[in-house]
Amino acid sequence: MVAFALPPRPDHRVLVLNRLWQPVNIVGTLRAMSLLFRGRASVVHSDETGHRIFAAAEWVSYSLATPPPAAEAVRSPCIVLRMPRVLLLGAYDRVPRREIRFSRRNVYLRDAHTCQYCGRVFREEELNLDHVVPRDVGGKTNWENIVTACVRCNSRKANRLPEQAGMSLRRPPVKPKWRLVVASSLAPEEQAAWKEFLEVAPAGQLPWRN
């Protein structure tokens, strides 16, 4: 196994696809290098001509022929490699079941920091979590009953059903898929590199998947 030093950008992440080109994980650079040089994955490199697949030796040759900028390089004692953005596993076709943790931050990500009553976008400190069906009448604290609400709409609705307060939801709350939560937290360069594989729309227009 080739020993690599940490890249100039330790926050660089690599999307891992299964054999069916479905996203199954996000890993750091050193883990990606391990998968590549152990023969468990190939690099998927995209350019204006489409997708090209590189095994480890081919990726070394490509990196030598087209030296990467310093910010996109990972180094060993003898070679400088271009950091991959996407890996394709060679013998894995299952999509693991991923339980998305129910949390305040993940609800905000699911709802794109948008109040589900007035439709405006807010900073996190300006948002609350609202029980669509109030707890007093049996409403549960889960994905299907919690939405993002601004302070004003949360106060207006109070301890009532939306229709009782003369309000309506932009869309019913559901448990999001892993891909949606991931897409909501991507850096701009990750969104550009991974959008085909995560089905990411332009910023502010992330796809909704039931």
The upper half-sphere exposure of residue 114, i.e. CA atoms within 13 Å in the direction of its Cβ, equals 16
pLDDT > 50? residue 200: no
On the question of pLDDT at 202 being above 50, the answer is no
Task: Report the C-alpha gap between 123 and 168 in whole angstroms.
Answer: 22
Identify whether the C-beta of residue 181 lies closer than 8 Å to the C-beta of residue 107.
Answer: no
Could you tell me if residue 176 is left (phi over 0), alpha (psi between -120 and 50 degrees) or otherwise beta? beta
Does 203 score more than 50 pLDDT? no
Q: Taking a C-beta distance cutoff of 8 angstroms, is the pair 194, 186 a contact?
A: yes
Q: What is the pTM of this model?
A: 0.56
Domain spans of the chain?
1-98+181-210, 104-165
Answer yes or no: are the C-beta atoms of 86 and 17 closer than 8 Å.
yes
Residue 149: which H helix or E strand, with range?
Answer: strand 146-150
What percent of the chain has pLDDT above 90? Answer: 46
What's the mean pLDDT in 181-200?
71
- pLDDT tens readout for residues 64-120: 998 888 878 887 777 788 899 999 999 876 665 566 788 898 899 889 899 999 999
pLDDT digits 0-9 by tens, 16-42: 998 888 888 888 888 998 999 999 999
What average pLDDT does the structure give for the chain? 83
Place of tokens 């729309």: 201
Helix, strand counts (H, E) of the chain: 6, 9
Q: Looking at residue 201, what is its pLDDT?
A: 38
Tell which CATH architecture fits domain 104-165. Orthogonal Bundle (1.10)
CA distances from 209 to 12, 16, 78 (A): 27, 21, 46
